[in-house]
Structure 1
Amino acid sequence: MLRAVRFTSSPSQTFTDAGRTLRYRRQGQGPPLVLIHGLSGSGRWWRFNTPALSADHEVLTLELIGGVGVQAAARLIVAWLEHLDLPPAAVVGHSMGGQIALYVAAFAPERVSKLVLACASGLLRASWWKVALNLPRAGFSGRPRFVPVVLRDSLRTGLPNLYRSARDLLRDDVEALLPTIAVPTLVIWGARDPLVPPRLGQHLAGSIPGAQYVELPRAGHVVMVDQPAAFNEAVLDFLAERA
């Protein structure tokens, strides 16, 4: 049974660069670990993961504000990492956040120690409105008690921002980028993902040199919420491995 976990961390901080803004919270101590949410997501999507991840890491949970495009968001995150001057960080991205994380690793490999791509977009090909309409379905395919968070965050994001971000996401093709990723990478997927099918995850992992692939059989698109214990274990095991 999935227990309610209170999302506790330091007060939210804000970083702005080139007119774009992100918020972030810091929790725990140890090697830095950055969490990037997906389209219409928020830091709340990691609430069942941060307690386990922050036991041995300093977890920095991001919230991207407004309809920021994929590569623009990646450049904003790189500027933020440079501003904080952290040691090389493990970067975990879900859905659109995974697509953004790929560019962070490509733009600033010296800032990234390891990469975790959870149900990452980037190879998805569909009309923007189909993706937007499938977002609630992706939420409903997993844990029912998480549905209010999905709906609340979608309303907070707003249709104009959803439209801009979804169109940018689908126009951006990461295929040529994948063979250039030089950091150790874990690709983790939900076998029941209705939004980004597992075949795309398998192709993603097969295109990144040395990438590992893990598929969780009872998880949908929000894999870290649907199967948090298995997700946390897979990520922590991967982070503990020597590069």
Structure 2
Amino acid sequence: MHERHEYRDGTYRLTYTVDGSGPPMLLIHGLSGSRRWWRRNLHALQAHYTVYVVDLVGFGSARRQRPLGVRESADLIARWMGSLNLTPAAVVGHSMGGHISAHLAARHPDRVAALVLVCASGLLRGDWWRVALHLPRAALAGKADFLPTIMFDAARAGLVTLVRATRSLLADDITDFLARIQVPTLVVWGARDALVPLPLGKALSEGIQGAQFVVFPRAGHVAMVDAAADFNREVLTFLAAQVPAA
């Protein structure tokens, strides 16, 4: 296991690991997730970049804290990046983490060199309980051997945290923020995503000037797990033209 580091900001605690060499890259997991959701990507990415993998407030090793809203999470991450004196980083976010990453790029453009949004939740709407009804189908659409990780991380986050975080992201519309994202952007989606449907991915990519859109036909909501090799290749190819590795 990589050594875990901790950043404290008032009452909030952000935990992260760092490994690899080259320009900085930040990986931000989604709702109910943790750093462990990037395990199938780290080896490929760390060969070219210094990869920082966070556990968001309220999740993973940073659980037992009330979760922040998506905008507050983006602001916290920007302050953390500043505390490390990071140069603008390649930022890769999944689901709620993609939602947060979009805000980070729009609100703190000096922190982001390039953006990868993976099945991001920013345009998702509806009652939280209606969205939750899609979770079993979304989980079953992905890799069966990843299901225990999904269940374990959801259980340790706890129902209260999951409901609060879901309500927060569903109440936050990034439509008006998309035009403010000026960094090179890659939008990645799974065609079988039952939680954040493919048309929302297409709309997201069309709302960001110059964004590239890639769809993995056999992947579900956790596209970086379901199509790990394809995901790693597409991300590295995209970033090679934007944030060249050392």
TM bucket (normalised to shorter chain) is over 0.9
- State yes or no: 1:65 paired with 2:57: yes
SS in 2 for 1:49: helix
- State yes or no: 1:51 paired with 2:43: yes
SS in 2 for 1:177: helix
Aligned length: 235
Q: Provide the residue aligned with 1:175 in structure 2.
A: 175
Structure 2 Cα separation of the partners of residues 113 and 88 of structure 1: 5
Contact 1:136 1:150 in 2 (8 A): no
* Displacement of 1:106: 1.4
SS in 1 for 2:123: coil
Structure 1 Cα separation of the partners of residues 210 and 39 of structure 2: 30
Deviation per residue, 1:84-128 (Å, 9 max, x gap): 011110000000000000111112111110000000001011111
Match of 2:34 among 30, 42, 57: 42
Let me know the Cα RMSD of the aligned residues: 1.1
Q: Provide the residue aligned with 1:128 in structure 2.
A: 128
- State yes or no: 1:230 paired with 2:230: yes
Following TM superposition, where does structure 1 have runs of at least 4 consecutive aligned residues deviating by more than 2 angstroms?
A: 130-137
Contact 1:89 1:112 in 2 (8 A): yes
Contact 1:132 1:162 in 2 (8 A): no
Q: Normalising by the residue count of structure 1, what TM-score does the alignment of the two structures yield?
A: 0.94
Q: Percentage identity across aligned positions?
A: 53
Q: Which runs of 5+ in 2 are unaligned?
A: 59-66
63-72 or 75-84: bigger deviation: 63-72
Q: Normalising by the residue count of structure 2, what TM-score does the alignment of the two structures yield?
A: 0.93
Structure 2 Cα separation of the partners of residues 238 and 78 of structure 1: 23
Q: Provide the residue aligned with 2:205 in structure 1.
A: 205
Structure 2 Cα separation of the partners of residues 130 and 213 of structure 1: 27
Structure 2 Cα separation of the partners of residues 81 and 183 of structure 1: 17
Pairing 1:67-82 to 2, within 5 Å after superposition: 67-82=67-82
Q: Which runs of 5+ in 1 are unaligned?
A: 1-7
